[in-house]
Structure 1
């Protein structure tokens, strides 16, 4: 009797068994913390999407740490498949930390200097260190990005501790008034904003009956040009392409600014991941260049319940940001947490 079919069955069974063991190993490697929905680190938690399995490649993956907006969550950020798959397909892990709940139960970041609350800079650096150690990520090649209140946090951390991350990419958020008079050092900055944003207008706005004031985005860019040592206020390059209005300043080694205005309002636009990574990876003389690696589907650090929900239809992440009290706006239950500040001009 020809036993080749039987041998094939045995080999196939062994292969399936080995694949199952490997899958369990990979799944275990992507789980962390006592809460199956999140990875615990320091004073908080984060969620994670890994790029496609790189096989035997020894190189560490770069990563983007993305901070959600007011009322959002790290798990909610990972539901934005346009954002997440756009990053993981190019070899980047996506780390999505959780802000702490405020008095009204909604999460937001303690970004403004002097506000009481968690030391967000220390927490975010803890998250970066923890994720790098657990998931073999390249700590030196991490971008800090964020939307709305998350973008406020990105600006303030970049200003106070520019060496904390390789680059910074705020979406629809800048400084508040009074904005810092100076920053600690130059950064790589990719700032994108909706032309018709009414939640965080380009010119800024008052909140809480005049108690708080969002800053002017263009005034913030002037501070960054000063910090980066730009010789001219005018950009080195202007372009209009695909509906995007862009201005670029190449100020010095490791200190470039790309400002992008996109059509629409307060949202993370589809295509943002590629815009940001194209900027990040472009050839630069003497500046950091992070290489993309491989396309494919992401692997998520989530529970089975969250996995079922995470890969929904691609859409801009709006969440509670379109509500009147979004991003800390005119919310009396939140204002007492802020502490006293001087409304700036």
Structure 2
């Protein structure tokens, strides 16, 4: 069965998928990194770049199989980029599995990145800029991530809201200052005003990796409701959120802001575990298609 957590290095070759020959070379502080990309054929204008970030102990191939966003991108003209972390998840790293350098947060191995590790907030900005020059996608990107990738996407959105069209976090939403102390304020570049970011979070309340109630150590201390509340505060949304039963075991909690870029939406899955809903993972919740939900969210809130 497919796992979003570790699929190895095989290329994704399913319909609408990406292969090893589709790469964008991104130079970050003098070092080139090859980023796998999916680019729809026969499209003259690409209105949106999506950064699809893998989980801890994952890679670009595992995330492509997990998110299955390429078919949606093909229909809508989006470019999908799947950069990888460079912190090795295991030694020897035979399967080439990686961890993200989430600012001031330890990795799943318990180690804190050092100054020698790549600055992934700055690196992702370089990915956005390089894609804009190559494909005309503009200086904002939609970000989506699973687990550790969701934590990285959240950290990037908190640090660079001026570069984010929308944020979707599956099993890993964090907020400015949540599990980062004062570090989130420190990584915001001087001169960048705080802008709202439309946020979609999907999380199971029986997740045993990133628990709903938090308390899993410095990597995941705050609860999911606390992370949502952080974005609600940052976006100046109205409280309380409006709760709707979307499907069996699925509750949607929507917080409206002054415009669509301020909206924050949480999908809580009762009894849901640590997986991408609707995927082929053995324990994935089948009653919600997270991929379709995210694609529609990006279309609506990224203005595409």
The two structures have a TM-score, normalised by structure 1, of 0.63
Alignment partners' CA distance in 1, 2:67 and 2:198: 26
- 1:158-211 CA distances to partner (integer Å, 9 max, x unpaired)? 11211111111111113352555976442111111123211111112334xxx6
Q: Please, which runs of 5 or more residues in structure 2 have no aligned partner?
A: 1-17, 106-112, 186-193, 279-288
- Give 1:213 deviation, angstroms: 4.1
Is 1:217 equivalent to 2:224 in the alignment?
Answer: yes
Following superposition, the deviation at residue 119 of structure 1 comes to: 1.1
Contact 1:109-1:120 at 8 Å conserved across structures: yes
Q: How does 1:195-206 map to 2 (within 5 A)?
A: 195-206=205-216
1:5-84 maps to which residues of 2 (within 5 A)?
36=21, 38-43=23-28, 44-54=33-43, 58-80=44-66, 82-84=68-70
1:290 aligns with 2:303: yes
CA contact (8 A) 1:52 1:89 kept: no
* 8 Å contact from structure 2 (residues 171, 203) kept in 1: yes
Check whether the contact 1:83–1:272 (CA below 8 A) recurs between aligned residues.
no
Distance 1:188 1:138, change over 3 A: same
Q: 1:187 to 1:81 in 2, by over 3 A?
A: closer
Q: In the TM superposition, what whole-angstrom CA distance separates every residue of 1:17-51 from its partner, at most 9, and x where no partner exists?
A: xxxxxxxxxxxxx99xxx84743212433111123
Which residue number in structure 2 is paired with residue 268 of structure 1? 276
Distance 1:127 1:290 in 2: 21
Query: If the length of structure 2 is used for normalisation, what is the TM-score?
Result: 0.71
1:249 matched to 2:255: yes
- Whether contact under 8 Å (2:102, 2:151) holds in the other structure is yes
Q: For structure 1, which runs of at least 5 residues remain unmatched after alignment?
A: 1-29, 283-287, 292-345
Q: CA deviation at 1:84?
A: 3.0
SS at match of 2:137: strand
Structure 2 Cα separation of the partners of residues 76 and 42 of structure 1: 23
Residue equivalent to 1:190 = 200
Q: Distance in 2 between matches of 1:204 and 1:81?
A: 24
Matches within 5 A, 1:292-331: none
CA distance in 1 between partners of 2:64 and 2:207 (Å): 23
Task: Kindly state the Cα deviation for residue 118 of structure 1 after the two structures are TM-superposed.
Answer: 1.0
| Contact 1:197 1:266 (8 Å CA) reproduced | yes
Deviations 1:53-75 (A, max 9, x none): 33xxx433322111000111113
**Residues 213 and 261 of structure 1: is their aligned pair in 2 closer, same or farther, counting only changes over 3 Å?**
closer
Higher helix share: 1
Q: Is the 8 A contact 2:197 2:235 kept in 1?
A: yes
Partner of 1:278: 296
* Distance verdict in 2 for CA 1:200–1:229, change over 3 Å: same
The structure number with the bigger radius of gyration is: 1
1:91 equivalent in structure 2: 77
1:80: how far off? 3.6
Give the deviation of 1:267 after TM superposition: 1.4
